[in-house]
Amino acid sequence: MKSFDAIVIGAGQAGPFLAARIVEKGMKVALIERKFLGGTCVNAGCMPTKTLVASARAAHVARNGAVYGVNIGGEIAIDMKVVRARAETVTLNARDGLIGWFAGMDGMTVIYGHARFEDPKTVSVNGETLTAPRIFLNVGARPVIPDLPGINDIDYLTSTSIIYLDRLPRHLAVIGGSYIGLEFAQMYRRFGAEVSVIEHGPKLASREDEDISDAIADVLRSEGIDIHTGASDIAFARSRDGITVATDSARIDASHVLIATGRKPNTDDLGLDAAGVITDKHGYITVDDSLATNVDGIWALGDCNGRGAFTHTSYNDFEIAAANLLDGDDRKVSSRILAYALYIDPPLGRVGMTEKQARASGRKIMISTRPMSRVGRANERGETKGFMKVIADAETKKILGAAILGIEGDEVIHGIIDAMNAGTTYPALQWSVPIHPTVSELIPTLLGDLKPV
């Protein structure tokens, strides 16, 4: 049996950085990863997919160059092998960076293999037994495959496998109208494929307010994406030319199907029962406000704990654990103000409460909206789709939430994120003097138009 001061299972966006901090304290750490360092973000999420999004945007800009007085003769051709290779290079560079970082770190032992608990202080991997007083789980999540008629009879894609696609689909059917599915839908439409989005619910991106969901649908439809919401009785069958996707109201002749119906935690094969670690009905590991599980000496970080499904929340889990365990701090998950983005083009930047959540809270609220068509930067760029929206507490004057669906919305939202984290009231932001011409310069104006509802 090999002894360590800490064992980290999973090398996503929390585990490696926590392992490095522990090593800096002069302790020995075993970092166990069953596949690739970097987790979903580096290997099958943010980095490769946003690289693909960039290629798709380049195609879109080139295709519409004449609007800006830039004429490109002939059809815009997409070389999917180059597109794929570029995304793969970005992934490999990031992964190799982690490998090199850990190789030069005394006290760090990186083990590739599948770890399972033997008891609360012991895990087995590759036939070896390891023990440590502290064990951290950062095992991530994977795509959910729904039990739909005919699904096992077709060759479907997931958000992981589609990034390896090196040829353009004739017609991509995307099953699921949430964040992952919508990004791939627009991406492949811009590459030149026909695209249909099939969503069981009544709206796309159902977490958002209805006005945001409707605006997202308008953006996608304007680019020729076929959207089917409220779809039921979804079924699949092989056809002569590919795959038939049938719903209660539509029949789609697709060449490829992407299943984008959510993700589930990688917790079902860790031997959690042997350690006594409790999970909820969805398989997420139950943690308290400090990310500790019900078992002393075991913590769960990142997607597997159900407290955030983003790279930045996973990294913040590392920050919380490191601050509390190594720096004597008392940081809490509940102090985190949730923010995220949807990387269609234009992007959606979101922070805090939606309007629906704010109304349900019983607060007296104020709301302001402004179309992107009234933003100078948007008009200069010729990208006026979307709108800005902010919600505030009428009594405390604190900002409760905001959504910016529009050009550079994923960056502009950070001004509001920072203000909310600092506890700044909205009247204080009205007196800022932002740079012109930017999208951010409209934040004081947006706040000045807040009205009670």
Question: Are 393 and 400 a contacting pair, CB within 8 Å?
Answer: yes
Query: Do 270 and 244 share a domain, yes or no?
Result: no
Same domain? For 84 and 134 the reply is: yes
Asked which of 244, 261, 278 is the last residue of a domain, the reply is: 261
| Position 190 pLDDT exceeds 90 | yes
Q: Maximum CA pair distance of the chain?
A: 70
Average the pLDDT over 188-195 and give the result.
Answer: 98
pLDDT tens digits, 231-244: 999 999 999 989 99
- Does residue 43 register a pLDDT over 90? yes
Nearest to 173 by CA among 195, 152, 155: 195
Are 249 and 387 part of one and the same domain?
no
Mean predicted confidence (pLDDT) in 300-326: 97
What integer pLDDT is reported at residue 242 of this predicted model?
96
Mean pLDDT of 210-220: 98
CA pseudo-torsion sign 294, 295, 296, 302: negative
In this predicted structure, the answer to whether residue 108 has a pLDDT above a threshold of 90 is yes
Across the strands, what pairs with 118?
A: none
Q: Which of 249, 253, 211 is nearest to 228 (CA)?
A: 249
**Distances, alpha carbon 180 to alpha carbons 137, 159, 360, in Å:** 24, 7, 27
Q: Tell whether 29 and 125 lie within a shared domain.
A: yes
Percent over 70 (pLDDT), the chain? 100
Whether 25 and 101 share a structural domain:
yes
- Helices 210-222 and 179-191 pack at an angle, to 10 degrees, of 20
Give the chain's mean pLDDT.
Answer: 97
436 is catalytic: yes
**Whether residue 185 is found in the same domain as residue 296:** no
Q: What is the mean pLDDT of residues 96-122?
A: 96
Query: Mean per-residue pLDDT for 203-229?
Result: 98
Residue 74 belongs to what domain range?
2-142+264-335
Place of tokens 């697709």: 254
| Domain-ending residue, one of 335, 367, 387 | 335
pLDDT class of 386 with cuts at 50, 70, 90: very high
Q: Which of residues 307, 335, 363 is at a domain's end?
A: 335
pLDDT score of 396: 98
Question: How many domains in the chain?
Answer: 3
Q: Write out pLDDT tens, residues 134-186.
A: 999 999 999 999 999 999 999 999 999 999 999 999 999 999 999 999 999 99
Q: What is the pLDDT of residue 348?
A: 98
Residue that has been written with the tokens 């360590």 in this structure: 4
Is residue 378 predicted with pLDDT exceeding 90?
A: yes
For residues 328-342, average pLDDT: 97
The CATH number of residue 239's host domain is 3.50.50.60
To which residue do tokens 């079924």 refer?
235
Least-confidence region, from 61-75, 287-301, 357-371, 392-406: 61-75
Distance CA 115, CA 153 (A): 32
Which one is catalytic: 114, 171, 312, 436?
436
Q: Give residue 74's pLDDT.
A: 85
Model confidence at 73, pLDDT cuts 50, 70, 90, reads confident
The pTM of this model reads 0.96
33 neighbors 11 (Cβ within 8 angstroms): yes
User: Per-residue pLDDT averaged across 180-208, rounded?
Assistant: 98
CATH code for the domain of 433: 3.30.390.30
Same domain, 331 and 251: no
285 and 396 co-located in one domain: no
Round to whole Å and give the CA distance between 263 and 142: 5
Q: Do 254 and 291 share a structural domain?
A: no
Could you tell me if 319 and 331 are in contact, meaning their C-beta atoms sit under 8 angstroms apart? yes
The number of beta carbons lying within 10 Å of the beta carbon of residue 16 is 25
Same domain? 86 vs 232: no
Return d(Cα 270, Cα 377) in angstroms, integer.
50
* Same-domain status, 326 and 348: no
Q: Are residues 308 and 428 in the same domain?
A: no
Of all residues in the chain, what percent carry a pLDDT higher than 90? Answer: 98
Bridge partners (DSSP) of residue 172 are 195, 256
